[in-house]
Amino acid sequence: MSLDRRHLLQFAAASLATLAFGAAAQSYPTKPVTLMVPYPPGGLSDNIARRVNVPLAAAMGQPVIIENLGGASGSIAAQKVLHAPSDGYMVFQGSPNELILAPLAIASIKYKPEDFRQIHRIALAPMAILARAGLPAKNADELAAYAAKAAKDGKPMTYASVGVGSFYHLLGAKMSKDLGVPMTHVPYKGAADAIRDLVGDQVDIFITPYGLAQTEFIKQGKMKAVAVLTPQPQRLLPGVPSTADSKALKNFLYEIGTGYFVKRDTPEPIVQAVHKGLQKVLTDTQLKAGLFAMGQEVSPAQSLADADASYKQEIATFQAIAKSIGLVAQ
């Protein structure tokens, strides 16, 4: 066979494959879609997914299956999505934790935030500084005083996170830097494990989004909320003071969003189909009520351009926080 004929056949085969893939993209989805959750069952991320998957399945016309895969600050799940075909059948439910911060903290991670495309944000999570029940602090200034005393006594205050390089790790390190006192980082695979040890008096604080389960523990006296990280009172913790009201942590104000992502090279018809499905989900009254009860602020509708722009802004913001504390990949 001549070289020209071989090239012609290769080109024809590639063209047919492209056409076939294009046809598949236009008819997407024709089978169940997997929603990849980068943490174990029981935590806030998992609870969000279990409120989204049913209305999303109805909107997409196919079952939406939840897969939980924790570990390495959520990067194991993110890498699994990147290793899957770019066909929209594996959608990542994530946040800056796994896609922006984990690559900055873990040297073995080779992906970049730009390898993913955000299709739509689902919610914004108000955050609080939760503490073990016996920790002697009722606001941010008392917490700062306790941290200073603990460090002076040679027993630095401990703070939980969902993994090295996670947002919660960075916030603990940022607090330590802002207060000028050493604190000890205690990483967990997921929020449920961190809350368990907080309730069990095994760790001092956890700077985290929260929901009804956490506020119930607070009501039962199993743990406490020391401060919220928004200037205004939060719906589920209306009596808890803000860090903005303190002297020591006046500018310690943060929130984090949850969104849905696919590989950057996913065909546009598939991206548009998932986007359309998520927009329908956001009109679901039961979903709104469920997210509201969990303390989440439901996202307004986003165009694909808006979703991409907000993700790019998060990349810049979170990379700046990592730089400010001197985060080094290990």
Give tens-digit pLDDT for 194-246. Answer: 999 999 999 999 999 888 889 999 999 999 999 999 998 898 899 999 999 99
Amino acid at 274: V
pLDDT at 48 over 60: yes
C-alpha–C-alpha distance, residues 57 and 63, integer Å: 5
The pTM assigned to this predicted structure is: 0.76
Give tens-digit pLDDT for 8-44. Answer: 655 544 444 444 445 557 799 999 999 999 999 988 8
Higher pLDDT residue, 235 or 7? 235
Q: Give one word for 246, left, alpha or beta, with left for phi > 0 and alpha for psi -120 to 50.
A: beta
For the segment 72-97, the average pLDDT, to the nearest whole number, is 95
CB 191 within 8 A of CB 43: yes
Give tens-digit pLDDT for 113-122. Answer: 999 999 999 9
